[in-house]
Structure 1
Amino acid sequence: MLGLEYFNFVQVWDPVFLAVMLLITAGYFLLVGPLSEKLGEGQSIPASKKVLFVLGMLLLYLAQGGPIDLLGHMMFSFHMVSMALSYLIAPPLLMLGIPPWVWRVIIRFLARSPLHRLKFLATPIVAAVLFNGLFSFYHIPVIHDYVMLHFGIHRLYYVILFIAAGLMWWTLVNPLPDAAEGQSLKKMGFIFLNMVLLTPACGLIIFASEPLYATYSDPAVWAKAMGYCIPGDTTYLLSQFGGPQFFGYLKPAIDQQVGGILMKFLQEIIFASMLAYVFFQWYRQENRNDDEENVA
């Protein structure tokens, strides 16, 4: 299936990363279960929050350690699917799945640590520019190929990008109930800002007439980059498959354009849905205020 049949279980499913994700999930259920009475506010956690957290962890695993991660090293279109799952879909699910009392503990800890000096990064405009700037910078061809070939930098950059995505989503999902009031108009402006900021990077990719990334067009570079997913010497991939084109259902330039379109389409769908939700919340609130004034 899409070339996955040529790789073994360890290469496709990354059991080490899976074990880490399972441990984090187990810690979450311990935190919201037995430990919540000791550390939390004694409030029961709705099943919906638990489902959101588990779904977020599942999508993050598939994108960063499962089949989508491997496919993302062979086809640019799957790379963009991986990016969308990792930074546009999984973070808000995880944030909404974590109970408010845990966020309050985290905020109190950060306020007492040296990291409180970086709190300006969580302001809406800075967070939007930071995430979209890091995302766009990463997809400059020479930067992308360098990061893909240097695995330590690869992991570090992805962690920083995930944190930046969390800061960006903080304004939109408001995991603390007391911070969610009176922000509808600002949220709508923030959503528009994010939709605009990602457009240049996607446009560069969509309208490029030839492959931009050696990772997906140069067999030697691709084989080296595959070392991120496949331990050991990966030069055998050249003799066995010849290059990433063996797995591609599209030519590299077209696959690249499809990837850019997918990323922009998914972003538009996600943020347009958020925009509609925030607008109707604001509309209901305005009508409620008008009704209260009429009654008064």
Structure 2
Amino acid sequence: MLGLEYFSIADLWSPLFMCCMLLVVAGYLLVVGPFSEKFAEAEPVSWMKKFMFIAGVFILYLAQGGPISLLGHMMFSFHMLSMALSYLVAPPLIMLGIPPWLWRKMLKINPLRKLKFLAMPIVAALVFNGLFSFYHIPVIHDYVMLHFNVHRLYYLVLFVSAMLMWWTLLNPLPESSKGSSLGKMGYIFLNMILLTPACGLIIFASSPMYSIYSDPNTWAKSMGYCISGDTSLLLANFGGPTFFSLMSPLVDQQVGGILMKFIQEIIFASILAYVFNRWYKSENRENDELTNGESY
């Protein structure tokens, strides 16, 4: 399927990253399970929270260490799918899976307290969407994809900024959730707007923007960071990334931009509908109470 049969199990499933993710899940289950007795404020964690955390880690693994990650080095559309799963789907699931008492303990760590200003709604939205848009400037994207340490660091910073962006909408600490429903709706619209220019430039570009997906030599070099063996054999055997794609580089690029924007719109539109529904019910309840009070 899509040429994946030409790669080894290790190339497809990244065993080292898999082990890291399994350790994260094991550590989480120990902390919220048998080790929770060591925390004074600890409370039982529901199976739903555990499921959300594990699902979030699993999705992050698929996006950054599974076949989607490998395909993301060959097709821009899969790269954008990986980005959407990594920063729009996995973070909220992981955040919701962490119980409030554990969040309180983690947020007491001194370095995190000093970065509290980054969680301010406007700052968080600008930082995440700015980093995402900056990354997809062609020269920046190609540089990051060709330098392993920069690639990992940038993706880590993007993930942290995504968590901060989601904090305003999903704040798991009841005592610090002060945002109004109207404010949250405005925040959702802001995020939807901020990502639009980058996706628009990608979708409406008249030619392929990224040499990773159009230049065979650049592609082969970038593949050296996600597969084992001599990457020159990739050129000899396949000629370039177009061997694995059913679309031309330009169409693949356009599909990637549409896919990213579509996933963002679906997720944020769903949250917007939920927030609006709660706000609408709250307003009606207050009006009913006022009406009943006046009738007396």
2:181–2:279 Cα contact (<8 Å) kept: yes
Residues 62 and 24 (structure 1), Cα distance of their counterparts in 2 relative to 1, 3 Å cut: same
Q: TM-score, normalised by structure 2?
A: 0.96
- How far apart are 1:114 and its partner, in Å? 4.4
Q: Which residue identity does 1:196 align to in structure 2? A: I
Label 1:114 to 1:83 Cα distance change in 2 as closer, same or farther (>3 A).
Answer: closer
Q: Is the 8 A contact 1:40 1:101 kept in 2?
A: no
Structure 1 equivalent of residue 124 of structure 2: 127
For residue 201 of structure 1, what is the amino acid of its counterpart?
A
C-alpha deviation, 1:196, in angstroms: 0.2
Matches within 5 A, 1:140-289: 140-180=137-177, 183-289=180-286
Q: Deviations over 1:26-47 (max 9, x none)?
A: 0010011011122152421111
Task: Indicate conservation of the 8 Å contact 2:42/2:101, yes or no.
Answer: no
Mean CA deviation greater in 41-50 or 57-66: 41-50
| Gaps in structure 1 of 5+ consecutive residues | none
Aligned twin of 2:27: 27
Mark the CA change 1:9 to 1:53 in structure 2 (over 3 Å): closer, same or farther: same
Could you list the per-position Cα deviations for residues 208-239 of structure 1 after superposition, in whole angstroms to 9, with x for gaps in the alignment? 11110000000000000011211343111000
Give the CA RMSD over aligned residues. Answer: 1.2
Percent same amino acid at aligned positions?
68
Task: Tell me if the contact between 1:40 and 1:102 (Cα under 8 Å) persists in the aligned partners.
Answer: no
Aligned to 2:15: 15
Aligned residue for 1:268, secondary structure, equals: helix
Take 2:83 and 2:117, find their aligned partners in 1: how far apart are those partners?
25
1:69-80 aligned within 5 A: 69-80=69-80
1:78, distance to aligned residue in structure 2 (A)? 0.3
Instruction: Measure how far apart 1:295 and its partner are.
Output: 4.2
Shift of 1:18: 0.3
Gaps of 5+ in 2: none
AA aligned opposite 1:68 = I
After TM superposition, the structure 1 = structure 2 runs for residues 36-115 of structure 1, keeping only pairs within 5 Å, are: 36-109=36-109, 113-115=110-112
Task: Return the offset for 1:93.
Answer: 0.3
Q: 1:283 to 1:38 in 2, by over 3 A?
A: same
Conserved 8 A contact 2:214-2:241: yes
Matches of 1:227 and 1:96, distance apart in 2: 36
Question: C-alpha distance in 2, partners of 1:6/1:19?
Answer: 24
Q: 1:2 to 1:36 in 2, by over 3 A?
A: same
> CA contact under 8 A between 1:206 and 1:260: conserved in structure 2?
yes
Cα separation, 2, equivalents of 1:34 and 1:108:
22
Amino acid at match of 2:86: S
1:16/1:114 CA distance change after superposition, 3 Å: closer
Deviation at 1:174, TM superposition (A): 1.3
State how far apart, in whole Å, the 2-side matches of 1:40 and 1:56 are: 27
How far residue 285 of structure 1 moved from its aligned partner, in angstroms, is 1.7
Equivalents in 1 of 2:176, 2:113: separation in Å? 19
Q: TM (normalized to structure 1)?
A: 0.96
